[in-house]
Amino acid sequence: ALRGREAMAVAAAADAKAETAALAAENGQLEERRSAVEAEKAAIEEQLEETQKEAKANRRALEDARDDAQAAANIIAGHSLRMEEREKKAAAAADRRMKLTMDAGALENRIRLLTEMEKDYEGFSKAVKLVCQNNLRGVHGPVAGLMKTDQQYTVAIEIALGAGLQNIVVDREEDAKAAIGYLKQRDGGRATFLPLTAIRGEELRQNGVERELGFVGIASRLVSFDPRYQNIFQNLLGRTVIVEDLDCGITLARKYHNAFRIVTLDGQVINRGGSMTGGSASRNAGVLSRAAELEKLHGRSAEMRERLEAVKREEEQVQRDLSAARYDLETAEGQRRQAEDEVLRLEGAKNYFDILLKSLGGNLENLTGELESLTGHLEENRQRKDRAEQTVAQQEAEAAKYREQAGQALSGQSELLAQSSALSEEVTARKEELAALTAERDAALQRSADLRRLAAELTGDRRQKEETLGNYQEAIEKAQAEIARRREDMGALNQRRQSCQERLSALNEEKMALEARRTAQNKASQEMNENLLNLERSASRLEQKLATSGMEEKQIIDRLWEHYELSHSDAQAQRIELESVPKAARRIGELKKGIAALGTPNIGAIEEYERVNTRYTYLTDQRDDVEKAKGELETIIGGITGEMTRIFAEQFQLLNESFQATFLEMFGGGQAQLELEDETDILNCGIEIKAQPPGKTLKTISLLSGGEKAFVAIALYFSILKVHPTPFCVMDEIEAALDDVNVTRYARYMRALTGKTQFIVITHRRGTMEEADVLYGVTMQEKGVSKILTINLNDMAKELDIQ
C-alpha cells in the first residue's frame, strides 16, 4: 500500500512537473508577444505624438493662411474702393481738363477776334481806319484807344463821347492838315482831328453838384488816360456829369437850369438847353466795351491757363495714384491667390492628419487591449505554475514519506518477505506499471484538457487577433482609399491649379494686350485730342474769318445802304455786269449827282428803324414767351385733366358699385345705377341716376315719386359716405318726405354707419329718434327764452334694464 501511495505521489509530481514545463513554454511565448506588442505600442505612441505635433503645426499654419487670405481679401476690398475713387477722380480731372481746354480755346478765339478787331480798328469809320493804319506822322490814335474806364461807366462814357470816340488825336495842327490831305487824296472820307497844341479844355466848376442825390462823377474824372491828353478829355468830357438814373438827372438839370450836359449810367442824355436823347443802348457793341472786354478776357485767359496747368498736374497726379492703386490691387490679388492655394494645401494636409490620427488612435487602443490581455494571461499562468510547483513539492514530500515508511516496514520482516518479495515485486511491478499507465493516462487526459483549454484560449486570442487584424486591414484599406481619393483630389486640384495658372497666364497676356491696347488708345486719344484742338483752332480761325467776312459784308451792306439806300437783295436784283471800271466810276459819279439832287435824306430814319426794330424785337420776344408759357400751361392742364379723368373714372366706378349695394340694402331689393351721359367727356357731361324699386320698372330719378326720389338721394349719399367716410356729418330733416317704414330703414342704415361717422340729425320723425343715442330737445316755455332738454337713451336703457 505504501508502495502504491508512493507511486501515486511520484505520478502526481510528474504530472505537475509536466504542467509546469507547459506553462513555462506558454509564458515564454506570451512574454515574446508582450514584448513585441509593447515595442509596437511604443512605436505607435511615438508616431502618434509626432503626428499630433505635425497636425497642431498644420492647424496653426492653416489658421495663419486663412487669416492671410482674409487679410488679403480685406486689402483687395480697400484697394478696389481706392481704385474706384481714383478712377472717378481721374475721369473728373479729364473732364475738367477737357472743359477747361475747350473754354480756353474759345477764350483765345474770342481774344484773337477782339485783338484783330482792335488791330483793324473795327467799328471805326473808314477815314479813322485809313489814318490809323498807315501810321501817319504825329497821329496818336482815336480817342477810344487812348482811354480806359470801369465796366459800370462804359455805356455812359460811350454815350457822352458819341462821335467823339472816333476823333483822332494828333500832335499839331500841321499833322491834322497832312492827315486831311491824305484822306482827300485817297477819297477816304472825313474825320475829326484833335491837335494837342490847339485843344483846350476845362472841367465843370458848379458848386454843390457833387453833393446832389444820384451824382456819380464828372465824366472826365471817370476815365484814365495819359496826362498829356488832359486837355483832350477835359474838352470832350469836362462839362458832362454822370448820374445814376434819369430821375436824378432831371432833378439836377432843373436845379441848375440845364447849364451842363447830364448822362445817366444806362445812356440817357439831358443836353444843355433841356433837350433829351434816350432809348435802349447796347452794352457790348461799342469800342470801349470791346477794349474793356479784351482786357478782362486777357486776365481771364491768364487765370484759365493757370487753372488748366493745375488741372493737368492734378490729372497727372491722379493718373499716377491710379497706376499705383492698380499695382497695389494686382499685388494684393496675387497675395490672395497664394494664400488661397496655401489654405487648400493645408486643408488637404489637415484631412490627412485627421485620418492618420484616427487610425493611430485605433491601433493604439487595440494594442493596449492586447497588452492587457497578455498580461492577464501571464499572471494567470504564473499563478498556475506556482500552484503546480507547490503540488510537485507536496507529492515529492509525500512519496519520500511513503518510501521511508516502506523501508521501516521491510526492515523487520524475514523470509516471508523474501518469499513474498518476488511476488510483491512482481505485483508491485504490475501495480507500478498499472499506476504508471494510470498516471500516464491521467496526465495525458490532464494534458489533453490543458491543451484543449490552451487551444481554446489560443483560439480566442487568435480570433481576437484576426478580428484586430481585420480591423487593421479595414482601417488600412479605408486609409488607402482615403489616400487614393485625396490623391485624386490633389490631382484634380493640381489640374485646377494648372488650369488656373494657364488661365492666369492667359489673363496676364490678355491684360498685357489690353494694356498695350489701352496705351494705343490713349495715344490715339491724345492724337485725337490734338486733332480736335487743331480742328478747334482751325474752326476758331474759320469762325474768326467768317466773323471778319461777316463784318466786312455788313460794312459793305451798311455802306451800300448809307450811300445808296439799297438792301442786299435790292442790290442783287439791280446788279449789272460791269463792262469796264472807268465806265462804272463815271456812272457812279452820275448817280451820286442824281442822289445829291434829291435833297437831304432823313437823318432820323436809322434811329427810327432802331427804335421800331427794338420794339418789334421786344414784342416778338414777349409773344414767344407768352406762346411758350401757353404751351407749357396747356401741357400742365392736359396732364392735370388726364389725371382728373382717371381719378374721376375710378372713383365713379367705386361710387356706382357702392350705390347699387346701398340701394339694394335700403330698398330691400330692386336695382340702381349711375350712368355718364358722355363717356368720352366725363369731366363735362352730366350724370344720370337710374333706379328700379322692387316691383317697378327701371326709371330715371326724375320719373320717381317724391318719397322715392328722397330715398334714392339718401341711398346715394350713404353710398358716398361708404366710399369716402367723414368723421362728422349733420342731417337736416332729409327723411321728411319718407313714410314710416322707409324712415325706419333709413335710421337703421344710418346706425350701421356710426362706426366710422358721427351723425347729428335734425328731425321730427319718431323712427329716426328711436335709433339715436342722445336726444336734444329745444323748448320755449317763456317767450324769447329757449331751453334744451337732453336724454341719453343708452343711460336710460341701462337704468330701465331694456335691451
Q: Let me know whether 148 and 197 are in one domain.
A: yes
A 10 A CB-CB count for 740 gives 10
CB under 8 Å to 716, separation ≥6 — which residues? 659, 662, 689
Task: Indicate which CATH number applies to the domain containing 153.
Answer: 3.30.70.1620
Report CA-CA distances (Å) from 275 to 45, 269, 334, 497: 127, 8, 89, 99
Same domain, 569 and 671: no
CATH number where 691 lies:
3.40.50.300
- Per cent of the chain over pLDDT 90 is 3
CA-CA distance, 16 to 391, in Å (whole number)?
A: 6
Segments forming the whole domain that contains residue 594: 533-601
The domain boundary, picked from 724, 745, 760, lies at: 724
The gap between the terminal CA atoms of the chain, to the nearest Å, is: 128
Q: Residue 3 belongs to what H/E stretch? A: helix 2-119
- DSSP-assigned beta bridge partners for residue 241: 218, 262
Comparing CA positions, the residue from 84, 185, 75, 90 lying closest to residue 130 is 185
Same-domain check for residues 629 and 588: no
The H-or-E segment that residue 319 falls in is helix 287-411
Rounded average pLDDT over 591-597: 73
Residue 375: how many CB atoms within 10 A of its CB?
A: 13
Residue 775 and residue 793: Cα distance in Å, rounded? Answer: 7
Strands 240-243 and 261-264: parallel
Taking phi over 0 as left and psi of -120 to 50 as alpha, with beta for the rest, 189 belongs to left
Task: For 499-540, write each residue's pLDDT tens digit.
Answer: 777 777 777 777 777 777 777 777 777 777 777 777 777 776
3-state SS of 385-423 is: HHHHHHHHHHHHHHHHHHHHHHHHHHHCCCHHHHHHHHH
Q: Give the model's confidence band at 761: pLDDT under 50 very low, under 70 low, under 90 confident, else very high.
A: very high
Model confidence pLDDT, tens digit, residues 363-406 = 777 767 767 776 777 677 677 767 766 776 776 677 667 666 65
CA atoms of 109 and 543, how far apart (whole Å): 9
Cα dihedral 556→557→563→566 (10° resolution): 150
Q: Do 718 and 587 have their domain in common? A: no
268 and 142 both lie in a single domain:
yes
Q: Are 442 and 11 a contacting pair, CB within 8 Å?
A: yes
Residues 221 and 166 in one domain: yes
559, 125 Cβ separation under 8 angstroms: no
Q: Tell me: pLDDT of 57 over 50.
A: yes
Q: Residue 712: how many CB atoms within 10 A of its CB?
A: 21
Decide if 267 contacts 281 (C-beta within 8 A). Answer: yes
In one-letter notation, the amino acid at residue 236 is L
Q: Are residues 138 and 191 in the same domain?
A: yes
Q: Give yes or no: residues 574 and 622 share one domain.
A: no
Phi, psi dihedrals of residue 194, rounded to the nearest 5°: -120, 95
Determine the Cα–Cα distance for residues 65 and 730; give it in Å rounded to an integer.
80
- Provide the whole-model pTM: 0.33
Mean pLDDT for 298-325 is: 80
Same domain, residue pair 563 and 708 = no
Residue 240 shares a structural domain with residue 255: yes
Q: Among 569, 601, 633, identify where a domain stops.
A: 601
**Quick check: 19 and 388 in contact, CB under 8 A?**
yes
Beta-sheet pairing, 728-732 with 758-762: parallel
pLDDT band (50, 70, 90) for residue 454? low
Answer whether residue 730 shows pLDDT above 90.
Answer: yes
User: Looking at the domain assignment, is residue 116 inside a domain?
Assistant: no
pLDDT per residue as tens digits for the range 252-282: 888 888 888 899 988 899 888 888 888 766 5
Q: How many helices (H) and strands (E) does the chain have?
A: 15, 17
Give the residue from 667, 701, 724 where a domain finishes: 724
* Other residues' Cβ atoms within 10 Å of the Cβ of residue 742: 20
- The string of DSSP letters for 560-602 reads HHHHH---HHHHHHT----S-HHHHHHHHHHHHHHHHHT----
Q: Is there a single domain that holds both residue 539 and residue 668?
A: no
Residue with grid cell 491824305, as numbered in its chain = 182
Distance CA 241, CA 216 (A): 8
Q: What is the mean pLDDT of the chain?
A: 77
Q: Percent of the chain at pLDDT above 70?
A: 79
In this structure, are residues 173 and 197 in contact, taking their beta carbons and an 8 Å threshold?
A: yes
Q: How many domains does the chain have?
A: 3
Residue 414 pLDDT > 50: no
354 occurs within a structural domain? no
C-alpha span between 109 and 126 (Å, rounded) = 25
